[in-house]
Amino acid sequence: MKNKMVILLPLIGLCLLFVLPARAEEVRISIAASLKDAVNEITAAFVKSNPGFSIVPNFGSSGSLAKQIVQGAPADLFISANPDWIEYLVKEGKISQDTVRIFTHNILVFVGPKTTEISSLADLARLQRIAIGSPKSVPAGQYAEQAMQAAGIYVELAASNKLVMAKDVREALLYADRREVEGAFVYRTDALLAQNSTILYSVPAGMHDRVSYLLGLTREGEQKKAARDFDAFLAGPEALRILEKYGFDIGGDTTGNK
Amino acid sequence: MLSLSSHDMQAVWLSLKVAAAATLLTAPVGFGVAYFLAFVRVPGKSLLEGLVNLPLVLPPVVVGYLLLLFFGQSGCMGPLLKAFDLRVVFTMAGAVIASAVVGFPLLVRAIRIGMENIDLHYIQASRTLGAGRLDTLLTIILPLSFRAVLAGMTLMFARSLGEFGATIILAGNIPGVTQTIPLAIYDYTNTPGGDSMALTLCLVSIFFSFAVLLASDAASRSFRARSAR
């Protein structure tokens, strides 16, 4: 027994050494993939004017992020590209309804190499391969599906196996950039960052629900002053300026009118 | 809870097709490479051995990415494939290639062990009695290593059923074309509320793996019984 303790105690001590105390100024945020570059810049600006704070970002598709939070992943603040996932988390009791607000908006576009010619959504039926975020978990994919349903081409495209499901909107953009598909449905903000692709077609506003990013604080985040401070910063003029710089649709009200 | 949508049935059927194709197409190649590694003496053989074992130690995502660089539009084979109007990326062929590459080391390893266990005296006797190399290969080495070949193919098939990393990079996630069971489960685990469907597919996957193992076991035992007569 003594021999075991001699080995066990130092091991336990070693484990305890590696436990990082949760600092009160550390804010963990889960953010929809399409907001990555803008939020990184906003975070840098926040940390610069609030030294001693640290923001730990986690980017992914809104659906998978919501799933993570429900499974217990630590997060103080969640920004989703689809209101459904915020409602889901409110229903599961993970997010408090009074902290939920609209963060910003975006516009769905179809990007691809210049060789692809599209003048309307119906033209997409001619293409061989189109990348969209998987509608099961990626809001951009859900909006794309809505638009294609409205144009009457979704069922045909899905049945002929022409849709490549990406795990988030950035992966869809990557497929288009690499020319493995003839085009992809991404947000205008992602299209502006594309290396090899151009915006071929801007999806008219009426064809899908307005792309709204909803923000909410989790139960843990509500308790943290640092998280509330960051939330306030995200609503401030500096953050709005950065969002506009990246091409987000910051104007307009919630009814979808600009 | 335990119901499969038509999409899921597609994924199951596709998984079986891809695994079967990968196994059957690479079995001869694996047999040849195993024979080479077991019996042929050339300098630098360990280099080939390392190359064959590489997919076993590399993370599957890395294997998938390297295959993408090789077969992609802007890759090495890109222009050649385009000239023949062939596509690998985002097609079932890509899924088969990904499974084949990842499972190949397992196949070769199993067959090679079987071959190395063959009593050399049988081969020497066959050669002294006048059989050529090919004759010896087909009538002595193949039957004696058959159980190892079967074991290798079983391993490869089971590995293909579970292949995810290389498949999703090279073949993408296209329902009906490349969305195999692991990719479908991944999709469901990312979907809030998709747990019951993910679990259903997991059960299907376990069932098939069991079935393959049992079938292979039965075949192996029956072959041993026959050859003992």
| pLDDT computed for residue A7 by the predictor | 83
Please tell me the predicted confidence (pLDDT) of residue B78. 82
What pLDDT digit, counting tens, does each position of A196-226 carry? 888 999 998 888 888 999 999 999 999 999 9
With respect to residue B1, please indicate whether it lies within any of the assigned structural domains: no
Predicted pLDDT at A256: 38
Question: Treating both helix axes as pointing N-terminal to C-terminal, what angle do A237-245 and A36-49 enclose, rounded to 10 degrees?
Answer: 150
- B25: domain CATH number is 1.10.3720.10
Average pLDDT along chain A: 88
Q: What is the dihedral of CA B43, B46, B49, B53, to 10 degrees?
A: -160
Contacting residues of B for A67, CB less than 8 Å apart: 189-192
Q: Is the ipTM of this complex over 0.85?
A: no
Q: Is residue B177 part of a domain?
A: yes
CA A62 from centre of chain = 5
| Residue A24: per-residue pLDDT | 55
The reply to whether residue A67 touches residue B177, judged by beta carbons under 8 angstroms, is no
pLDDT at A65: 93
A151 CB near a chain B CB, below 8 Å? Answer: no
Question: What domain range includes position B171?
Answer: 6-228
Cβ separation B192–A165 shorter than 8 A: no
pLDDT of residue B63: 95
Distance from CA of B150 to the nearest CA of A (A): 34
Residue A134 and residue B72: Cβ atoms within 8 Å?
no
For residue B186, is it within any domain? Answer: yes
Query: How far apart are alpha carbons B181 and B166 in whole angstroms?
Result: 14
- Average pLDDT for A80-95: 92
Determine the Cα–Cα distance for residues A42 and A201; give it in Å rounded to an integer: 29
Q: Give residue ranges of B with CB < 8 Å to any A CB.
A: 72-74, 89-90, 172-177, 179, 187-194
- Residue type at A52 in one-letter notation: G
pLDDT in tens, A159-198: 888 999 998 888 899 899 888 899 999 999 998 888 888 8
Distance between A134 CA and the closest CA of chain B, angstroms: 8
Environment class of B27 (CB within 10 Å of its CB; exposed 0-12, middle 13-18, buried 19+) = middle
| CA–CA separation, A118 and A116 (whole Å) | 6
A221 to chain B, closest Cα gap in Å? 21
Both structure tokens of A74: 């630590």
C-alpha torsion B111→B166→B189→A215, nearest 10:
160
Is residue A42 over pLDDT 90? yes
| The pLDDT of residue A109 is above 90 | yes
**Closest residue of B to A133, CA-based?**
B173
Q: How confident is the model at residue A21 (pLDDT cuts 50, 70, 90)?
A: low
Neighbours of A58 (CB within 10 A): 15
Asked if residue B194 is part of any domain, the answer here is yes
Number of structural domains (chain B) is: 1
Domain membership of residue B126 (yes or no) is yes
Q: Indicate whether B113 belongs to any domain.
A: yes
pLDDT-derived band at A86, boundaries 50, 70, 90: very high
Gap from B192 CA to chain A (nearest CA, Å): 5
Q: Do A167 and B173 touch (CB under 8 A)?
A: yes
Nearest by CB to A134, which of B173, B177, B192? B173
Q: Residue B58 to residues A243, B37, B165, B189: CA-CA distances in angstroms?
A: 40, 21, 11, 25
The closest CB to that of A61, out of B89, B173, B190, belongs to B190
In chain B (229 residues long), the average pLDDT of successive 10-residue segments reads 79 94 96 92 90 94 92 84 86 95 95 91 89 86 90 92 92 90 90 86 91 86 70
Q: Is residue B210 part of a domain?
A: yes
Q: Going from the N-terminus, what domains does chain A have, and what CATH number goes with each?
A: 25-105+210-245 (3.40.190.10), 108-202 (3.40.190.10)
Q: For position A253, what pLDDT does the model report?
A: 46
Q: Average the pLDDT over A48-64 and give the result.
A: 91
Residue B188 lies in a domain: yes
